[in-house]
A and B are shown apart, each in its own frame.
Chain A
Amino acid sequence: MVRWLILVALAPFLGGCATTNGDPRDPLEGMNRGIYAFNDKVDTWALRPVSRAYHDYIHSEIRDRVRNFFGNIADPMIGVNNMLQGKFEEGFFDWVRFGFNSTFGLFGLHDVASDMGYEKHNEDWGQTFGRWGAGTGPYVVLPLLGSSSVRDGIGTGLDYLTDPMGGLRRAELRWGLWGVRIIQVRSDLLDVSQLLEDASLDKYVFQRDAYFQRRRSLVYDGRPPRERDIDTIPPGQPK
């Protein structure tokens, strides 16, 4: 049933495999662009206006609490992923953060751990697979979820399966919280998405390249090895 639904949802895009610039990382560009256009419509007509209203009408103090709350319940799994990547100290401190913020920080509403110097980390299953040596595989634009790759798409699936909110028995509570989290995340990206719109000549290409750069940086925790292919640098330019 679910598989059939996905197929139906994808059907309109499968025909769109026309224009490609032949980027080796993006063999599915035709289909991806189709899904991208669909996501863009959903964003323009639903997600962005709701997030804009959330940003404009809810006081920033409250938005900070909401961000902290969702950040806090994510910390234990961030810790697990850090440990799976062999970073036991970081993983331990993710749990320390969860402990402090859940108690002194009133159920995670206040990020007291950051004030104490325990910084928040950014980890997920896709990064863990990357750290284990898995390449990204082809670029994939997921319906509604946006930029991803084969590796990170599988990672995102696992992220959802291991999401503590997934354990909530009452479906309406679970979906309600997921909904609020999506709006919170999107509202934090309002400025970034406008910047993308302004800065890019071809938004699809710009976002794809940024996605690959960003994920590579995250896998290496912000210190990726330098990857400047020598022959693209003109003579007389800095190396």
Chain B
Amino acid sequence: MTRVLALLAAVFALGAAQAQELMPPDVLVKQVTLEVVDLIAKDKEIRGGNRAKLIGLINDKVIPHFNFVSMAALAMGQSWNKATPEQKKRVTEEFKTLLVRTYASALASYSDQKFDFRPLRAKPTDTDVTVNVRVLQPGTQPVPIDYSMEKTPSGWKVYDVMVGGVSLVANYRTEFNNLVRESGVDGLIKNLSAKNRALEGADRK
């Protein structure tokens, strides 16, 4: 009996995992966006400026859907191949911290704008798609937010975000390459972690 139950549980868990894997990228973006916005709207502390709590929320709800290794690799461009596995890990960690913090700042300035989730234009066989969302605000042009997503064994993952036509990872490429040219990959890591520490210090004030 217990064995049957265990089997059932296992099948169920497998099914759940598969269901999540199969969740289409546009549905995933819509669901996560609306959930996060709703959680923030309900949370007095976050709206009152509790940055640590907001970052916690982002870590729980948003981060699992991002592929930071891809993001770091794309931001570094050619320099990625020059880095050792240990350096790649450090860059990815520091870059992730910076992006989460940036994302928190962007979310903190959100104030009741409406979202327009665009229908996905992709073939079912595509493994690399762009999900378009637009933020609507009267009197100005809607701001497009485009998520570049890739299919992985653990579901669709975001590897770039474009806001108003500006790709986040591409925008870091020149900065990263300048730093690598000047002081190597270690110089880049040092700069990123100094930046993160400075931002952390500013938060605590």
Contact = CB atoms under 8 A, between A and B. Distances in A.
B128 A238 contact: yes
B111 to A, nearest CB: 8
Contacts of A238: 70, 128, 148, 150, 159
Interface in A183-207: 188, 191, 194-195, 198-202, 205-206
A68 interface: yes
A191 to B, nearest CB: 4
B78 A232 contact: yes
A180 to B, nearest CB: 14
A41 interface: no
Interface in B154-175: 159, 164-167, 170-175
A4 B20 CA distance: 67
A199 B178 contact: no
Given A202-B175, A205-B175, A234-B80, A214 B166 contact: yes
Interface in A98-120: 111, 114-115, 119-120
A198 B108 CA distance: 13
A73 to B, nearest CB: 12
B89 interface: no
B203 to A, nearest CB: 10
A145 interface: no
A213 B70 contact: no
Interface stretch (B1-9, B32-40, B41-49, B139-147): B139-147
A89 B151 CA distance: 38
B102 A209 contact: no
Contact of B139 (A21, A111, A201): A111
B58 interface: no
B138 A195 contact: no
Contact of A222 (B74, B101, B144, B191): B144
Contact of B171 (A67, A122, A191, A206): A206
A216 interface: yes
B98 interface: yes
Given A201-B175, A209-B171, A231-B78, A216 B165 contact: yes
Given A198-B105, A238-B150, A64 B174 contact: no
A224 B130 CA distance: 13
A121 interface: yes
Given A119-B141, A234-B81, A224 B165 contact: yes
B171 A237 contact: no
A206 B174 CA distance: 8
Contact of A68 (B80, B109, B139, B174): B139
Interface string B49-83: 00000000000000000000010011001101100
B161 to A, nearest CB: 12
A198 B140 contact: no
Contact of B165 (A23, A115, A222, A239): A222
A48 to B, nearest CB: 15
A139 B106 CA distance: 27
Nearest to B108: A191
Nearest to B109: A191
Nearest to B198: A198
A97 to B, nearest CB: 11
Contacts of B77: 232-234
Interface of B: 70, 73-74, 77-78, 80-81, 98, 101-102, 105-106, 109, 128, 138-142, 144, 148, 150, 159, 164-167, 170-175, 178-179, 181, 191-192, 195, 199
Chain A to chain B: the 7 pairs with minimum beta-carbon distance, closest first: A217-B165, A191-B109, A232-B77, A68-B139, A67-B139, A199-B102, A213-B166
Given A114-B139, A119-B141, A217-B165, 4 more contacts: A115-B138, A202-B175, A209-B171, A232-B173
